[in-house]
Amino acid sequence: MTDRAIKMFDYRAELPGIHDDVLAAVERVLQSGWLILGPEVDRFERSMSESLGGGYSVGVANGTDALTVALLARGIGAGDEVITVANTAVPTANAIRQAGALPVFCDIDPATGLMDLARVPSLIGPRTRAVIPVHLYGNPVNIPELLERSRAHDLFVLEDCAQAQGATLGGKPVGSLGHAASFSFYPTKNLGAYGDGGLCFTRDPLLAAKMGEVRRYGFSKRDYASGPGLNSRLDELHAAILSVKLPLLQASVARRRELAVLYDRLLPAHVERLVATTASEHGRHLYVVRVADRDAVAARLATQGIETGVHYRYPLHQMPAFAAARLPAEGLPHTELHASRILSLPLHPTLDEDAVRAVCAAL
């Protein structure tokens, strides 16, 4: 057993370095007279847009809503279909259903665990309006290839960046590659708030304006709803805290990458590593491996004080909530095998090298 518990995540470990700045940000909001959609949200939206190379950001209540808002702003709803993967978090498909559309699940590339882009054209039908590629674990999907494969069908490519903030592909940040993107600021994310938060991003000013309407009941002017809408706003307190943390993101992700390199070097041969996308810088939100008899391995690690996770144990197409989703004729065999063997190992910026060595030795 290790001398101390090795946890997957603990926000308290980062607090000493930012404690005073966070409290100052909170105090600034409390004294400002603004609590909803004020100067802090505006400041954070502008900073996020700058970090993505320019464009328009719309802060919302959470990452799920970010996807829903983007779909509704694009006019996607009842009778439409949206292609995504089944080895993602429930919220990805929930957002599609909340918009009124039907999920269509694509199988994955077994080497990366990401959407198999070669399979996308065969899933496009007369009702297909959008594709949501998930940058799973921080590994970028090849968005330029996806755009090329879907261009003839005029599909809306909406990047799910919940696990990949700080990652790049071809030198460009994820979120800036498709038609729009969604981000989550759930506490465990690469850029995490101390509660829920999310954001939509696009380079299209008309789409951004529509996103802004959708997040506030569909209002095109005060108390006047011109279209579908939600009540989904990033609050001033979390925007202020995220503004403290955003300048630290790159250093935080760099630390994640350093620890991942150490994992790569020390993991025993029987542990299968996932392949990173070519010409990318992985966001390293999670360090996920594949092992035989996964649950037994996780249980043995737990007896040694090592916390692990599974992202995600149940493929979405096997859940009653998504029984109506459309699947390829051959099913999702790679997705199912992947889900049965994956194991997430501890990885966060405050983890030290000795902890990584202890995990690898235990494995």
What percentage of the chain reaches a pLDDT higher than 70?
A: 99
Res. 1: pLDDT tops 60: no
Res. 284: pLDDT tops 70: yes
Res. 321: pLDDT tops 90: yes
**Which residue stretches of the chain are H helix?**
15-32, 39-51, 63-73, 90-98, 120-123, 143-150, 205-215, 236-245, 249-266, 294-303, 333-341, 353-362
Mean pLDDT, to the nearest integer, of 102-125? 98
Q: If phi over 0 gives left and psi between -120 and 50 gives alpha, with beta otherwise, what is residue 100?
A: left
| pLDDT tens figures, 43-95 | 999 999 999 999 999 999 999 999 999 999 999 999 999 999 999 999 999 99
- Average pLDDT across the chain, whole number: 97
Residue 4, pLDDT score: 77
Residue 91, pLDDT score: 98
Asked if residue 69 lies in contact with residue 184, where contact means CB atoms within 8 angstroms, the answer is no
Mean pLDDT, to the nearest integer, of 137-158? 97
What percentage of the chain reaches a pLDDT higher than 90?
A: 99
Res. 314: pLDDT tops 70: yes
Mean pLDDT, to the nearest integer, of 332-349? 98
Number of C-beta neighbours around residue 114 at 10 A: 23
Q: Which CATH number fits domain 1-363: 3.30.70.20, 3.30.450.40, 3.40.640.10, 1.10.10.10?
A: 3.40.640.10
Q: If phi over 0 gives left and psi between -120 and 50 gives alpha, with beta otherwise, what is residue 33?
A: left
Residue 164, pLDDT score: 98
The pTM of the whole model exceeds 0.95: yes
User: What radius of gyration do the chain's Cα atoms show?
Assistant: 20
Mean pLDDT, to the nearest integer, of 178-204? 98
